Amino acid sequence: MRPENEHELAAFIASANNPIRIQGGGTRPLGNPCTGEFLSTTGLTGIREYEPGALTLVVGAGTPLDEVNTVLREHGQFLPFEPMDCRKLLGTKGVSTVGGLVSANSSGPRRVLCGGCRDYVIGIRFVSGEGEFLTAGGRVMKNVTGYDISKLFVGGLGTVGILTEICFKVLPIPHDTAVLLINGLSDDQAIRAMIHALNSPFGVSGAAHLPRGMDGHPVTMIRLEGFEVSIDYRTRELTRRLAKFGDVVVERDPVRTQAGWQFVRDVELFEAAKGGDVWRVSTRSRDAAALVDMVRRSYEIDVVYDCGGAVLWIRTRESIDLRALIGPLPGHATLIRTSDANKRRYGVFHPQDAILARLSEAVRQEFDPRNLLNRGIMDCRHQVN
Amino acid sequence: MELPTPDQRILGDKARIVKRLRQVVPPDSVIDDGHETLAYECDALTAYRCPPLAVTLPSTTEEVSQILKLCHREGIPVIPRGAGTSLSGGALPTSDSVVVCVSRLNGIIDIDYDSRLVRVQAGRTNLSVTAAVEEDGFFYAPDPSSQLACTIAGNVAMNSGGAHCLKYGVTTNNLLGVRMVLMDGEIVDIGGEFLDSPGLDLLGVVCGSEGQLGIVTEAVLRILPKPEGARPTLIGFSTSEGAASCVADIIGTGVLPVAIEFMDQTCIRACEAFSGAGYPDVEALLIVEVEGSPEEIEYQQGLITQVAWRHNPVEVRQSASAEESQKIWAGRKAAFGAMGQVGDYICLDGTIPVSRLPAALGGIAELSDRYGLQVANVFHAGDGNLHPLILFNANDPAELHKCEELGAEILKLCVREGGCLSGEHGVGVEKRELMTVQFSPADLEMQMRVKDVFDRSWLLNPAKVFPLELSMARRSQ
């Protein structure tokens, strides 16, 4: 089924009796495996409204991300949360849609400065699990009128309704970029260096550490973005402040800086062809290195530290329950890439507090009482405190 | 403005209810004396008042839980309250309600500079969050103008903004987690000291739910390193349209100021008389603030000035010192006090797309003429969040009524121009009945169904946000 407009979609859902599996571009097969009749959103496309002066863009949910990026770029603007391209990591093909990336709350390295996808979705139109056509939020960036229902859809993996239209807040593309590189740091030192940079007043827009970088050696990357005069000044200042951690190399070539951050954003180091399971762990920066160290004592793993260590991408050999190994932590671990059998065995999502799980399930049911949409994709085990 | 009919059963049972409350929290944490409860009869929307049955001042999450459990069992409506600075009547009681005021929950629980976050008790004031970290070079970004008094609990409930949210976002963008008490007394943690909680983003819905889903007792907040410096530029225009089109152009250049503030002539003159800020006597002025090192500020000010000159300004004044900055801001910061000297006013809070500023200002002027009430405009122009101030005589009930009508017309205009009813003050009781202008009955039904999940018996701040008629069946079950 591939509806061409919202009314066709609403009618289809209203008369549906069996589970439905929603698909945008099919590049992000995240969550628990689920079955059902395929429903493609790729017919719901088009830029509906774009106001560069108001920093807002309204777009059909099935619109390819590339198309949106192209339109924004013409006006020197972009989606600042740097959505990840999952195709290399997950070995998928196809064209990423905005509805898909919003449903996955896909956010990249820049979130340390700008926030994630959730912070840029300001309004939506959607069809509920009952086939009702509804609206939430609005088309202006400052809006507290009624509940912020849109947030449920960001990262909701299609379980609360089918997005048909999304209004984004957008921002101007920074004129210039510099990346400060420090080679050879231990994970622990790297995290200290990243925190030092992030706690400076220079608006660091990326802080990542690769224990095995493109050339196999440890590299720590700090990104600065802004006007040229700003970048000159901030590079100078930050280089001085980071000198105590090691020699700082500055990269300002636009092609190379972009490639470097794309490598981090898309976790290219763990591309599907090279195998292994991949987990994403969110925790406190200061706990990150110890956590990795503990896992390393049992298994050989590869790690990419993003967001100053608040986000860890960990590749293990197949069939290891990383979550059980690290035990309770402030934060959570999500199984991003593995076999369906392992997803079932370990659970994709971190066990949720029992009250929270009950509330979430009850909210989901209000939007999709027949439990037709992406059934089970977000299920997780409960944990009683 | 209408309030639901109070429950006579509760009113008649006051003595017993108060006694029960004193059994679950220390006796001096319960206020029931008719004179003392008067202090809680309204918030900053003072046009509407109603003293509650009783007021409770819990000191712990556990006490909040005990109070809610009791009220839940007894079927008593609960009104959450922070500092009572809501401009939309968010904390307005009903006579049969128990106010739960969280202002005693004001501690700092944890400061984690490595992750740039703090965990605070939610009754702590907004400004004192910054005060706790500023010596170490950090600040909490959302800065509602009531920040000296308003609490984080209230900020979370209303998703408060401020002058600097063009760059830093509003509360929801700076909130990582809450500890919250549900109406039945259950305590739940949503989010925490980490990014991207798994599962549905309930935190995103709780923030801005106007105290209808639970009472927030702790919050995890993002803190940011302080910028090296900030400087405003003042630009005066001979027409409001000139100022309005300049705003969109500034944003178009790729500079992202931390604030773009707009004032019209009525407001400029009042502020000048009140504060002697030295403002030019012009039709409209903008204050555009940028941040960074001195050389970065100078560069951005240069860009802004270049844009400004394309819009025939009467005057462009770049601040080059802390003293000049202070002077430029003095008038704007005194705006609401200054307008109070001119007369009584109500402050509106609609948002429009920035590109529609000239049309919206024209429309407001027309409505002001039609109703014969003066309207002054002072607002956050960068994000299109208007604050028209309607001047009226509060002692004249007929004029209050006319003023309410004009306010409703202006907010409808905002929605027609593609905007919304409230940018940062919330719906409360003030804009409740206008919700159908912006949302379909089905949209509102879905929002109410979310409240059903958190508060099945609709006891928590029940007569707010939704039109009374739409929520009636749920409230009177």
pLDDT tens digit sequence for A172-185: 999 999 999 999 99
- Residue A221 predicted with pLDDT over 80: yes
Residue among A357, A306, A311, A307 nearest A333 (CA): A311
Neighbours of B457 (CB within 10 A): 16
**CB contact at 8 A, A77 and A42:** no
- What average pLDDT does chain A have? 95
User: Which spans in B227-334 are helix H?
Assistant: 240-252, 265-275, 294-309, 322-333
- CATH assignment at residue A217: 3.30.70.2190
Nearest to A331 among B194, B203, B453 (CB): B194
Q: Do both A41 and A121 map to the same domain?
A: yes
Smallest CA–CA distance from B155 into chain A, residue: A144
DSSP state of A270: G
**CB contact at 8 A, A34 and A374:** yes
Instruction: Look up residue A273 and give its two tokens.
Output: 């062809």
Nearest to B422 among A51, A145, A198 (CB): A145
CA distance B13 to chain A (A): 33
Interhelix angle A285-298/A187-198, nearest 10 degrees: 160
Biggest CA–CA distance in chain A, Å, is 66
Q: Do both A228 and A159 map to the same domain?
A: no
Number of domains in chain A: 3
DSSP state of A367: H
User: Which spans in B25-78 are helix H?
Assistant: 61-74
Q: How far apart are CA A174 and CA A206, in angstroms?
A: 13
C-alpha dihedral (B374, B380, B385, B390), degrees to nearest 10: -10
Q: Do both A78 and A109 map to the same domain?
A: yes
Nearest to B189 among A105, A145, A353 (CB): A353
Residue A58's domain spans which residues?
6-172
Q: Do both A235 and A282 map to the same domain?
A: no
Rg (CA), chain B: 23
**DSSP SS3 for B298:** helix
Asked if A282 and B195 come within 8 Å (Cβ–Cβ), the reply is yes
**CB contact at 8 A, A310 and A284:** yes
Q: How far apart are CA B112 and CA B118, in angstroms?
A: 6
Domain final position from A116, A146, A172: A172
Residue among A221, A165, A159, A193 nearest A349 (CA): A159
Q: How far apart are CA B84 and CA B105, in angstroms?
A: 15
Nearest to B443 among A111, A134, A144 (CB): A134
Q: In which band, very low, low, confident or very high, does the pLDDT at A384 lie, cut at 50, 70 and 90?
A: low
CA distance A179 to chain B (A): 19
Looking only at the bridges linking them, the beta strands covering A311-316 and A332-337 are unpaired
Q: How far apart are CA B154 and CA A336, in angstroms?
A: 37
How many CA atoms does the CB half-sphere of B290 hold within 13 Å? 26
Would you say residue A81 lies in a domain? yes
CA distance B27 to chain A (A): 31
Q: Do both A168 and A191 map to the same domain?
A: no
**Whether B301 contacts chain A with CB within 8 A:** no
Would you say residue A383 lies in a domain? no
Would you say residue A355 lies in a domain? no
**CB contact at 8 A, B165 and B147:** no
DSSP state of A160: S
Residues 6+ apart with CB under 8 A from B396: none
**CB contact at 8 A, B145 and B164:** no
Residue among A63, A43, A59 nearest A51 (CA): A59
Taking residues A208-228, report their average pLDDT: 94
**DSSP SS3 for B407:** helix
* Exposure letters A18-44 (e unless 16+ CB within 10 A, then b): ebbbbbbbbbbbbbbebebeebbbbeb
**Whether B220 contacts chain A with CB within 8 A:** no
Residue B415 has a pLDDT of: 97
Q: How far apart are CA A362 and CA B454, in angstroms?
A: 9
Q: What is the pLDDT along chain B (477 residues), one digit of tens a residue?
A: 888 899 999 999 999 999 999 999 999 999 999 999 999 999 999 889 999 999 999 999 999 999 999 999 999 999 999 999 999 999 999 999 999 999 999 999 999 999 999 999 999 999 999 999 999 999 999 999 899 999 999 999 999 998 888 899 999 999 999 999 999 999 999 999 999 888 999 999 999 999 999 999 999 999 999 999 999 999 999 998 899 889 989 988 888 899 999 999 999 999 999 988 899 999 999 999 999 999 999 999 999 999 999 999 999 999 989 999 999 998 888 888 888 888 899 999 999 998 898 899 999 999 999 999 999 999 889 889 999 999 999 899 899 999 999 999 999 999 999 999 999 999 999 999 999 999 999 999 999 999 999 999 999 999 999 999 999 999 987
Rg (CA), chain A: 21
Q: Do both A155 and A249 map to the same domain?
A: no
Smallest CA–CA distance from A131 into chain B, residue: B442
CA distance B349 to chain A (A): 10
**Interface with chain A: mutation pick from B156, B164, B173, B195, highest number of A CBs within 10 Å:** B195
Q: Do both A255 and A279 map to the same domain?
A: no
**Whether A367 contacts chain B with CB within 8 A:** yes
Q: How far is CA B71 from CA A329, B57, B75, B197, B235, in A?
A: 35, 15, 6, 31, 54
Would you say residue A380 lies in a domain? no
Residue B421 has a pLDDT of: 97
Asked if A282 and B440 come within 8 Å (Cβ–Cβ), the reply is no
Residue B280 has a pLDDT of: 95
C-alpha dihedral (B366, B367, B368, B372), degrees to nearest 10: 110
- CATH assignment at residue A286: 3.30.70
Would you say residue A304 lies in a domain? yes
Nearest to B292 among A156, A230, A355 (CB): A230
C-alpha dihedral (A359, A363, A364, A366), degrees to nearest 10: 140
**Whether B440 contacts chain A with CB within 8 A:** yes
Q: Do both A101 and A183 map to the same domain?
A: no
**Whether B302 contacts chain A with CB within 8 A:** no
- Bridge partners (DSSP) of residue A169 are A56
Q: How far apart are CA B77 and CA B457, in angstroms?
A: 9
A56-60, strands of its sheet edge to edge: A47-51, A56-60, A162-169, A121-127, A133-137
Nearest to B295 among A54, A233, A360 (CB): A233
Residue B264 has a pLDDT of: 93
ipTM exceeding cut-off 0.90 for this assembly? yes
CA distance A318 to chain B (A): 23
Interhelix angle B441-454/B468-475, nearest 10 degrees: 30
Q: A30 contacts in B (CB within 8 Å)?
A: none
Would you say residue A366 lies in a domain? no
Nearest to B453 among A107, A135, A359 (CB): A359
Would you say residue A15 lies in a domain? yes
Instruction: Look up residue B120 and give its two tokens.
Output: 């605070």
The answer for B 130-159 residues in CB contact with A (under 8 A) is 137-138, 158-159
- CATH assignment at residue A110: 3.30.465.10
Q: Do both A228 and A295 map to the same domain?
A: no
- Bridge partners (DSSP) of residue B139 are B224
Residue B241 has a pLDDT of: 87
**Whether B465 contacts chain A with CB within 8 A:** yes
Would you say residue A51 lies in a domain? yes
The answer for B 166-195 residues in CB contact with A (under 8 A) is 169-170, 172-173, 182, 186, 188-190, 192-195
**Whether B384 contacts chain A with CB within 8 A:** yes
Domains by residue range for chain B, with CATH: 1-226 (3.30.465.10), 230-336 (3.30.70.3450), 343-416 (3.30.70.2740)
Q: How far apart are CA A127 and CA A158, in angstroms?
A: 11
Q: Do both A22 and A146 map to the same domain?
A: yes
Asked if B202 and A141 come within 8 Å (Cβ–Cβ), the reply is no
Query: CA quadruple A251, A252, A255, A259: dihedral positive or negative?
Result: positive
Domain final position from A225, A248, A265: A265
Q: Do both A58 and A154 map to the same domain?
A: yes
Q: How far apart are CA B378 and CA B271, in angstroms?
A: 11
The answer for A 40-99 residues in CB contact with B (under 8 A) is 51-56, 75-76
Q: Do both A27 and A141 map to the same domain?
A: yes
The DSSP secondary structure of A48-115, one letter per residue, reads: EEEEGGGTEEEEETTSBHHHHHHHHHHTTEE-TT-----HHHHT--S--BHHHHHHTT---TTHHHH-
What is the percent of chain A with per-residue pLDDT over 90, rounded to a whole number?
94
Domain final position from A172, A201, A234: A172
Q: B439 contacts in A (CB within 8 Å)?
A: 135, 146
Looking only at the bridges linking them, the beta strands covering B54-56 and B98-101 are parallel
Nearest to A134 among B112, B194, B442 (CB): B442
Question: What burial class does residue B341 get, using C-beta atoms within 10 Å of its C-beta: 0-12 exposed, 13-18 middle, 19+ buried?
Answer: exposed
Residue B333 has a pLDDT of: 84
A176-183, strands of its sheet edge to edge: A248-251, A176-183, A219-226, A206-210, A302-306, A311-316, A277-282, A332-337
**CB contact at 8 A, A198 and B113:** no
